Amino acid sequence: MILPYPHIDPVLVHLGPFAIRWYAISYIAGLLLGWWYLVRLIQTPSLWRSPTFGGRAPATADDIGDLLVWATLGVIIGGRLGYVLIYGTFFCGIWGTSPACVGLPLGYITHPIKIIAAWEGGMSFHGGLAGVALALWLFCRRRRLDVLKIGDLVASVTPIGLFFGRLANFVNGELWGKVTDVPWAMVFPRAPDPLPRHPSQLYEAAMEGILLFVIMQIGLRLFRLHNRPGLLSALFFAMYGLFRYIAEIFRDSDTVFPHWLSVGQALSIPMWIASALLLWLALRRPRVQAAA
């Protein structure tokens, strides 16, 4: 027994020659809901009573609104360039075992439009994360805000965007899982064969989206990790790296290094290194004491 795959048109609506896709809607939903929740957080006085913050949130609602623009550019530019560099250039240039590698990376030289052709498919979460991190650093430097404090806030809402992104992958019928006989297996129409597979996109939505969001809120609201700036970000990097590594076990990735390690699993290693660095930065910063 298998579950029927719900055939959903990847295009939500056609407006003349333009098409609004569910994938684009997922980016918009993730960014807007993340912005809304960030504003709610900074408007919650109980979160900022510790001496670390002196009774004031680390940013204003206007700051968060402006940051949304910077983060959007970071996600789009970083996500696309990350795919071009990590998958299209590095992986395809050395191994080239994926069908998506046909003509790459030489195609980026002969047809430079391919570098920005995100409409053909190809966005990297890790590239988007790097883009947001750079945008966050530049924004905080410009506004003279504490990058670790703001980074913790952004990390606490990032799973919202991950959740919607993985749902969009499921709607598109892409990034399917390995062949399996579990009762909830599905046949994906774009897969290379009509065999039942793990709905790995939903696994990732559950782990990287729902579960990681719950963990981040527990760290923020119950354990008050944000009182040591950098700890929440360290938690996010560590847990995302773990969940992505686990998800890749079920995902039928066509970007696999020789033997068994996928690119997604390999990229969990720098995530864990970044987590360790953020943990070190958080713990080496002197704890702010309450005024006598």
Kindly tell me if the per-residue pLDDT of 290 is higher than 70: no
Using pLDDT thresholds of 50, 70 and 90, give the confidence band for residue 119: low
**Domain count along the chain:** 1
Residue 217 lies in a domain: yes
Alpha helices in the chain (DSSP H): 22-42, 61-82, 92-94, 106-110, 125-143, 147-172, 200-204, 212-217, 231-250, 263-266, 268-284
Residue 11 lies in a domain: no
Residue 168 lies in a domain: yes
Residue 50 lies in a domain: yes
Give residue 41's pLDDT.
Answer: 97
Give residue 253's pLDDT.
Answer: 77
Nearest to 163 by CA among 128, 201, 123: 201
Q: What are the tens digits of pLDDT across the range 185-237?
A: 999 998 989 999 999 999 999 999 999 999 999 999 999 999 999 999 999 99
Average pLDDT for 78-85: 92
Residue 254 lies in a domain: yes
Residues forming a β-bridge with 240: none
Kindly tell me if the per-residue pLDDT of 176 is higher than 70: yes
Residue 5 lies in a domain: no
Q: What are the angstrom distances between the C-alpha of 29 and each of 157, 158, 249, 269?
A: 12, 12, 28, 29
Residue 218 lies in a domain: yes
% of the chain residues with pLDDT over 90: 70
Residue 2 lies in a domain: no
Nearest to 244 by CA among 203, 185, 186: 203
Kindly tell me if the per-residue pLDDT of 82 is higher than 80: yes
Average pLDDT for 134-159: 97
Using pLDDT thresholds of 50, 70 and 90, give the confidence band for residue 96: confident
Structure tokens at 64: 């968060």
Residue span of the structural domain in which 105 resides: 17-284
Using pLDDT thresholds of 50, 70 and 90, give the confidence band for residue 292: very low
Give residue 258's pLDDT.
Answer: 63
Residues 104, 88 contacting (CB under 8 angstroms): yes
Q: How far is CA 68 from the centre of its chain?
A: 15
Average pLDDT for 59-77: 96
Average pLDDT, the chain: 91
Give residue 76's pLDDT.
Answer: 93
Which of 8-12, 263-267, 271-275 is predicted least confidently? Answer: 8-12
